[in-house]
């Protein structure tokens, strides 16, 4: 059994840690590239959202490298993501690939079936071993998320150009070369310590932008044209409202206990969306309101073309913008690789925020 | 010796240059078609502007904008490179200081810019859809066999407007053909197109935005009096079309260059003689990873001056110094 899985951000690292610990062989799909997208676009339905196309490209590239089992998360998500596994299965079948697809979900609440699937890919029935490996890989994930968060926060202040980028590249290379969660955690601890000590110029006039929207386009930097890095280079500190670590702990721990960390976000969204309408629409709205309260200068909403939940939240953005006094830019992402149009919008948005901020500062000094 | 600032707007359809003196008076403007060849267009424009301006001028600063702004900046040695939205906003504020709304329709894109208290407050930009842009009008004028310059005046002659679907350029075109075959007047059809375009613009970009007067209409399409009237009819307010409506982006770039040079003290402009330089572009597909980026190499007088187009930055980041100029 050679397991593969779709990319979303850097999550391939903790996933690899998990299977390394369990002693299962994995094939990490090649980094998302133009080729991945081309492959995915060729075989996916034309109007499907972008993540499915990239996922499909990932599978095809992994199969080429010898993978025979694909692990994906499922869940009857109230957006098209809920159909992803079924559609992908059919497409791969039509293409004549003999691969096993394991969907991590409990069909109609069948926990026994869920455990059967887990033990199949884990290659063991030892629940304790599975639990321990899972815990250790979540530690890797959380530390990695923490590092990524610091990169987006600190990069606009760095005194030595590219220092953080180099540190980041080196960390990823080290993690890719490691086996198992123990080795990875050591690398992460080291890198986290170094990034704390990177010399920063805190006097710089840096803006703060929060990223909200559909989870895949927020997390996967290939799909969003590495918006975080682009904004950092324009002198903007960036925070992503969604991360894989939080998503996992929300799904695995809080929701199953009937709790949610997201109550605060939902509360903030209440004046605009009272209930879950699918995807992350409610979180998009709630996080936008929260960013405005936390003193962020602006919010950027990301979504793939034809994403229904995000289109609903996008239509609410004008009133959120007016009532909370925070500028919002919505960017719809599709398979275009030309970056010109996006850059123009980003630059104009950053200019807008900077002018607003300066104006506010003058007004403060005058009063 | 006359001191001037130059603003350059390299757009998809037109390349514009504005020369402005230190008192913000416009000395000269130039509007030529880009025709898909920004490098040649800009060179041509500089040859013309060099001939037209007297010899005794000194260029104190240069700003570039438009979708070809980065290319233009490398060719000219610009002091500031600014996106079109900010440039248009700056230019409009300079002409009507209390402007609240800018309608800008260019060749390939259209924008709405809202300003409050003298700063850009909100904007929206349309690039994927051609229905609300100048190139759509261009094409329809061609189909009807009338010069685009007369389009607006013909629309004004219409007595009973014909409604044409404006949501999508493809639908609009088939709708228009249908109305033609029914025997409607050409003026009425043209007026119908103008109204469809204004409606489409407001539905698309103006959705959920508070459009307050004073409203300025600029960009190449602002020369079309039929569209101006259509906007006035729908919005119910007077619309200002500034004298230099078609080169407002370049005016904005000029004003920004003036501010920038006031800060830095010295221009990076390479001189009007760049019109006589030769510019070459070579490109190759990088084979270091599956992204297969198309890397562009830019040569001025056979010297490599810049590279771009790579995702990872391993080509673009290389400082093109004297040494690797020799290697190249």
Q: Which residue in B91, B108, B125, B208 has the most chain A C-beta atoms within 10 A of its own C-beta, making it the best mutation to test that interface?
A: B208
Q: Tell me the chain A residues in contact with residue B112 when contact means C-beta distances shorter than 8 Å.
A: none
Better-scored residue on pLDDT, A255 or A250: A250
Contact A189, A146 (CB under 8 A): no
What pLDDT sits at residue A254?
Answer: 67
- The dihedral through the CA atoms of A337, A343, A345, A350 has a sign that is positive
Q: Tell me the chain B residues in contact with residue A345 when contact means C-beta distances shorter than 8 Å.
A: 83, 85, 125
The CB-side HSE value for A301 (13 A sphere, CA atoms) comes to 32
Q: CB–CB of A340 and B67 under 8 A?
A: yes
B214: preceding bond cis by omega (within 30 degrees): yes
What pLDDT sits at residue B185?
Answer: 86
> Residues near B317 by Cβ (< 8 Å), separated by ≥ 6?
none
Flag whether residue A33 sits within 8 Å of chain B, measured between CB atoms. Answer: yes
Residues 152-171 of A with CB under 8 A from B: none
Q: Tell me the chain B residues in contact with residue A340 when contact means C-beta distances shorter than 8 Å.
A: 67
Distance CA B8, CA B65 (A): 6
Q: What is the DSSP letter of A155?
A: G
Distance CA A144, CA A187 (A): 10
Closest CA to A227 of A333, A68, A108, A102: A333
Is 60 exceeded by the pLDDT of residue B16?
yes
Q: Which residues pair with B21 in a beta bridge?
A: B4
Which residue in chain A has the smallest CA separation from B312? A226
What does the mean pLDDT of chain A come to? 89
Contact B184, B217 (CB under 8 A): no
- The dihedral through the CA atoms of A78, A79, A84, A90 has a sign that is positive
Q: Which residue in B290, B293, B296 has the most chain A C-beta atoms within 10 A of its own C-beta, making it the best mutation to test that interface?
A: B290
Q: Tell me the chain B residues in contact with residue A361 when contact means C-beta distances shorter than 8 Å.
A: none
Closest CA to A283 of A301, A295, A297: A301
pLDDT above 90 coverage of chain B, percent? 27
Better-scored residue on pLDDT, B94 or A260: B94
What pLDDT sits at residue B322?
Answer: 42
Contact B101, B195 (CB under 8 A): no
What pLDDT sits at residue B152?
Answer: 87
Nearest chain B Cα distance for residue A161, angstroms: 12
Q: What is the DSSP letter of A158?
A: B
Which residue in chain B has the smallest CA separation from A31? B290
Is 80 exceeded by the pLDDT of residue A301?
yes
Write the residue in B67, B84, B292 that is nearest to A34 by C-beta: B292
Q: CB–CB of A351 and B120 under 8 A?
A: yes
User: Within a 10 A sphere around the Cβ of A204, how many other Cβ atoms?
Assistant: 12
Q: Tell me the chain B residues in contact with residue A30 when contact means C-beta distances shorter than 8 Å.
A: 290
Q: CB–CB of A344 and B83 under 8 A?
A: yes
Q: CB–CB of B123 and A34 under 8 A?
A: no
Alpha-carbon Rg for chain A in angstroms: 21
User: How many residues belong to chain B?
Assistant: 328
Q: What structural domains does chain B harbor?
A: 2-88+249-275 (3.30.420.40), 97-241 (3.30.420.40), 279-327 (no CATH)
- Predicted TM-score (pTM) of the model is 0.87
Confidence of residue A338 (pLDDT cuts 50, 70, 90): low
Is 50 exceeded by the pLDDT of residue B124?
yes
pLDDT digits (tens, 9 = 90+) for A75-94: 666 788 888 888 999 999 99
pLDDT (mean) for A152-156: 95
pLDDT (mean) for A15-23: 92
pLDDT digits (tens, 9 = 90+) for B217-275: 998 889 899 999 999 999 999 999 999 998 999 999 999 999 998 888 888 888 888 88
Q: CB–CB of A31 and B84 under 8 A?
A: no
- The dihedral through the CA atoms of A296, A298, A303, A307 has a sign that is positive
Flag whether residue A204 sits within 8 Å of chain B, measured between CB atoms. Answer: no
Flag whether residue A34 sits within 8 Å of chain B, measured between CB atoms. Answer: yes
C-alpha A314: how far from chain center: 19
Nearest chain B Cα distance for residue A346, angstroms: 9
Question: Among A323-327, B124-128, B257-261, whose mean pLDDT is lowest?
Answer: B124-128
Beta-strand (E) ranges in chain B? 2-10, 14-21, 26-33, 57-65, 80-81, 101-105, 110-116, 119-126, 215-218, 239-240, 279-285, 294-300, 303-308
Flag whether residue A77 sits within 8 Å of chain B, measured between CB atoms. Answer: no
Distance CA B236, CA B258 (A): 37
Q: Which residue in A344, A346, A347, A360 has the most chain B C-beta atoms within 10 A of its own C-beta, making it the best mutation to test that interface?
A: A344
Using DSSP's 3-state secondary structure scheme, residue A32 falls into coil
Better-scored residue on pLDDT, A109 or B102: B102
Q: Tell me the chain A residues in contact with residue B120 when contact means C-beta distances shorter than 8 Å.
A: 348, 351-352, 355
Flag whether residue A179 sits within 8 Å of chain B, measured between CB atoms. Answer: no
What pLDDT sits at residue A169?
Answer: 92
């Amino acid at each position: 059994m050679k397991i593969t899985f779709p990319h979303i951000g850097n999550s391939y690292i903790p996933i690899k840690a998990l299977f390394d610990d369990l002693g299962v062989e994995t094939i990490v799909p090649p980094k998302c590239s133009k080729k991945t997208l081309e492959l995915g676009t060729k075989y996916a339905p034309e109007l499907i959202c972008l993540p499915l196309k990239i996922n499909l490209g990932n599978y095809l590239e992994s199969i080429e490298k010898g993978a025979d089992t694909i692990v994906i998360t499922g869940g009857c998500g109230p957006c098209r993501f809920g159909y992803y596994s079924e559609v992908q299965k059919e497409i791969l079948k039509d293409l004549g690939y003999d691969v096993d697809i394991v969907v991590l979900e409990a069909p109609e609440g069948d926990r026994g079936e869920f455990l059967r699937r887990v033990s199949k890919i884990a290659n063991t029935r030892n629940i304790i071993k599975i639990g321990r490996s899972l815990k250790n890989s979540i530690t890797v994930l959380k530390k990695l998320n923490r590092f990524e968060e610091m990169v987006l926060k600190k990069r606009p202040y760095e005194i030595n150009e590219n220092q953080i980028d180099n540190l980041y590249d080196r960390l990823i290379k080290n993690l890719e070369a490691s086996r198992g969660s123990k080795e990875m955690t050591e690398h992460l601890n080291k890198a986290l310590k170094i990034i704390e000590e990177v010399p920063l110029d805190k006097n710089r006039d840096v803006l703060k932008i929060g990223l909200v929207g559909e989870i895949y386009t927020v997390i996967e930097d290939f799909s969003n044209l590495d918006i975080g890095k682009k904004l950092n280079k324009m002198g903007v500190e960036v925070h992503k409202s969604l991360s894989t670590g939080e998503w996992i702990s929300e799904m695995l721990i809080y929701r199953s206990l009937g709790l949610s960390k997201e109550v605060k976000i939902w509360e903030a969204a209440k004046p605009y969306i009272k209930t879950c309408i699918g995807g992350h629409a409610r979180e998009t709205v709630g996080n936008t309101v929260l960013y405005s309260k936390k003193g962020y200068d602006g919010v950027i909403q990301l979504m793939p073309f034809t994403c229904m939940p995000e289109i609903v939240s996008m239509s609410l953005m004008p009133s959120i913008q007016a009532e909370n006094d925070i500028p919002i830019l919505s960017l719809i992402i599709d398979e275009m690789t030309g970056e010109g149009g996006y850059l123009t919008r980003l630059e104009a948005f950053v200019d807008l925020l900077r002018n607003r901020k300066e104006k506010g500062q003058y007004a403060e000094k005058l009063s | 010796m006359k001191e001037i600032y130059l603003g350059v707007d390299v757009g998809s359809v037109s390349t514009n240059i504005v020369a402005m003196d230190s008192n913000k008076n416009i000395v000269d403007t130039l509007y030529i078609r880009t025709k898909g060849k920004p490098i040649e267009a800009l060179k041509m424009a500089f040859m013309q502007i060099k001939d037209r301006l007297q010899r005794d001028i000194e260029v104190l600063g240069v700003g570039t904008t438009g979708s070809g702004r980065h290319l233009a900046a490398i060719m000219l040695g610009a002091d500031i490179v600014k996106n079109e939205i900010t440039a248009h906003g700056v230019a409009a504020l300079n002409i009507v200081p209390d402007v609240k709304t800018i309608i800008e329709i260019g060749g390939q894109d259209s924008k709405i810019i809202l300003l409050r208290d003298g700063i850009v407050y909100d904007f929206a930009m349309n690039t994927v859809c051609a229905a609300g842009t100048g190139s759509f009008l261009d094409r329809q004028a061609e189909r009807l066999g009338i010069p685009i310059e007369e389009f607006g005046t013909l629309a004004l002659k219409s007595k009973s407007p014909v409604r044409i679907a404006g949501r999508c350029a493809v639908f609009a075109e088939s709708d228009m053909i249908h109305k033609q075959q029914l025997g409607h007047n050409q003026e009425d059809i043209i007026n119908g197109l103008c109204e469809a375009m204004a409606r489409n613009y407001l539905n698309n970009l103006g959705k959920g935005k508070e459009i307050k007067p004073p409203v300025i209409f600029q960009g190449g399409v602002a020369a079309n009096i039929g569209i101006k009237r259509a906007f006035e009819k729908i919005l119910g307010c007077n619309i200002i079309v500034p004298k230099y409506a078609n080169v407002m982006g370049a005016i904005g770039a000029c004003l920004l260059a003036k501010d920038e040079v006031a800060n830095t003290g010295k221009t990076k402009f390479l001189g009007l003689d760049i019109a006589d330089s030769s510019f070459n572009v070579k490109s190759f597909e990088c084979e270091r990873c599956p992204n297969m980026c198309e890397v562009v190499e830019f040569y001025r007088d056979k010297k490599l001056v810049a590279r771009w187009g790579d995702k990872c930055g391993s080509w673009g980041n290389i400082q093109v110094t004297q040494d690797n100029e020799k290697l190249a």
